Every structure is written in C-alpha cells, then in structure tokens.
Amino acid sequence: MQGIFITGPPGIGKTTLIVKVTSRLKERGVKVIGFYTLEEKEEGVRVGFKLVNVSNGEWRWLAHVNKVQGPMVGKYHVDVNSIEWGLTLLNEVGDLYVIDEVGPMEMKYPLFLRRVEDIVNSKRFLITIHVKMRGWADSHSTQGKILRLSYVNRDTAVDEVLNYLGALLNKA
C-alpha cells in the first residue's frame, strides 16, 4: 500500500484533516505536492469552492454559483481549467501527493480520474473521496488504506493519518 484514502459524508472534516496533516508534515520537512478544496461562503451560504495549492496557498475557483463558467454540478458552475491547473501541480517532484477530492465536480474534467490513478499506482498519496465515489475507493483498496471519517473518529484521525503516512514515508 502506498497511501491513504479518506472518505466520509460532506461536512465531516475531510478537508480540515488534509490541511492539518499537510501542515504538520511540511513542518517535518516532507515535500507535499497537490491541492485541497475549500468551500467559500457569503453571509453563511456556500457559494463556491476554491482549489488551493498545498505547497504555497495559491488558489483558483474550482466552482462557483456565478464567478466561473463551465458545466454544472448542482447549483455550481465548474471551471475545468482550474481542475487542469490542479493536475499540473501533481507534476512536481515530492514525497507525498495530495488530492482533495475525487468527486463529481472533478469528474467534469475527462482526464482527472486517469491522473489520480497514475498517482495511486506510482506515488505516496493522501486522497479524499466524495461519498458518491466510494465504490472507486473500494476498488482501489489494495493500493491504499481506506479511512472512513465520522464524528466518532475525526478527533483522533489526524494522528492516525500522520502515523500511517510517517511509516510509509520512512520506508521510501
């Protein structure tokens, strides 16, 4: 196994876990490559999602109700150019490759899943999986540990993931 898949219902804390884990790994000198997704709210209402470079904080709109053009997922327009930008981040050389998330919005870019599978097959990884894509994660369970995040385990999950990845990265 080369990595870990994090899955769970929307709002459970998958991205929060990614941000905490990657921050601590970078403090330890691990070169972390990839991206995570942050929701954007206006007056308490979610209006979009930002795709954030885990290395330097640079971001682009992944989806928004009115600031981008592209195919629709629910009420959001998805910017496929931002997905492509996120995938180019994975071309850098690193110790750990982060993808947050494998979900319906990202599937609007035809080559997305192929690139994710390239990472899963050849790199150390930390990937979040939208609940609608859980079957995909299950089909790749021999390549990575699956952690199903819940209200019961989310407070201890950061240390669990850090310990697991620490062991993997020390073997590299």
CA–CA gap between residue 5 and residue 99 (Å, rounded): 10
Q: How many domains does the chain have?
A: 1
Report CA torsion sign: 85, 146, 125, 112: negative
CA–CA gap between residue 118 and residue 113 (Å, rounded): 9
Q: Can you give the CATH number for the domain in which 35 is found?
A: 3.40.50.300
Q: Which domain holds residue 140?
A: 3-171
At a CB cut-off of 8 Å and minimum separation 6, what does 128 contact? 5, 6, 7, 14, 15, 18, 36, 99, 100, 101, 102
Q: Give the confidence band of 171 by pLDDT, cuts at 50, 70, 90.
A: low
What's the mean pLDDT in 48-73? Answer: 95
pTM of the model: 0.94
Where is pLDDT greater, at 137 or 148? Answer: 148
What's the mean pLDDT in 113-128? Answer: 94
Evaluate whether 90 touches 26 at the Cβ level (below 8 Å).
Answer: no
